[in-house]
Each structure stands twice: as C-alpha cells, then as structure tokens.
Amino acid sequence: MRRDYVTLNVRHVGRDDETLPTVVLTVDEQTETLEQRLVTADGDGIEADRLDVVFRLKGPVEDDATGVFSLSDRITGEFVLEVNADAADVLDLVDGARTDDADGCYRVVVRHDSEDVATYEKRMLLVYDGEGGLLRGHSLIPSGVEL
C-alpha cells in the first residue's frame, strides 16, 4: 500500500480536551488490501499490543520537518500502513498524550470510506531521527520499558 493513499490527521491534542489524543489514518485504497494488512495469519484482527507505532524524521527536528509515520506488526515486522506526515503534527500528538492519565495515552484510528475499520489505544510511540537514532525526548516510552 503506497504512502500517498493514506492521510494523517491529529485530533484532541489540546490540554483541556478530555478525549484521548488521536491520530486518524484515512486510507483511500481498496478495502481488500487494507483488510489483509489489519489481520494476522490466523485471520484475527491485529491487537493493539502487537502493533508498533513509529515516526521516522527525514531531517532535523524543526518547524517544517517531515517524516514517515508507520504502523507495523511487532511479531512479523511487516508494515501495516505508512504515511508521510509533518513532524509538528506527530510531536503535538506526543505532547498531548503525555498529559493524559488514561490507560491508553493516545488512540490510533484507521478509516476507510468514512468508516472506522480499526481503533487502537497505545502508550508507546517511538520517534527516530533521519539517521535512525532514537529521540527519547520526542518519543512516548512508558515507564518500565527498556529499549
């Protein structure tokens, strides 16, 4: 699935908002391909604890930086979705999620044809620089997790 078939929108990142910060990934490709990517080899839907969320910057962190936001299957390593995104949007999501005390720090929603096809509550989002180095200060890493 090509990155240009997916768009990313960040919602509910305001500090006064009681809703979990949310990233909405809207897919404009055929449903069959999307459905295949959201299930395991056994045909079960991918659970949130099996999904890794990563943002890789294409350059230094600055106001107009961009990168690739991706979801991947932790067990197989296969990409589920990727989308080009502005770093400001992703970093706003990280900042909004840090202020939330709910069980899920933020939510990922996958949409197709104005319908939510998958929703995941996540606590970790790793942000990497353009050379593959982890940016701990810009990442969401729950306490007790060692990388």
Query: Where do the structural domains in the chain lie, given as residue ranges?
Result: 3-134
The confidence score (pLDDT) of residue 60 equals 86
Share above pLDDT 70 across residues of the chain, in percent, rounded to a whole number: 88
Of 127 and 143, the structure prediction assigns the larger pLDDT to: 127
pLDDT at 102 over 60: no
Local structure of 4: helix, strand or coil = helix
Q: What is the DSSP letter of 47?
A: P
Of 70 and 29, the structure prediction assigns the larger pLDDT to: 70
| CA gap 116, 110 in Å, rounded | 6
| CA gap 112, 32 in Å, rounded | 11
| CA gap 15, 12 in Å, rounded | 8
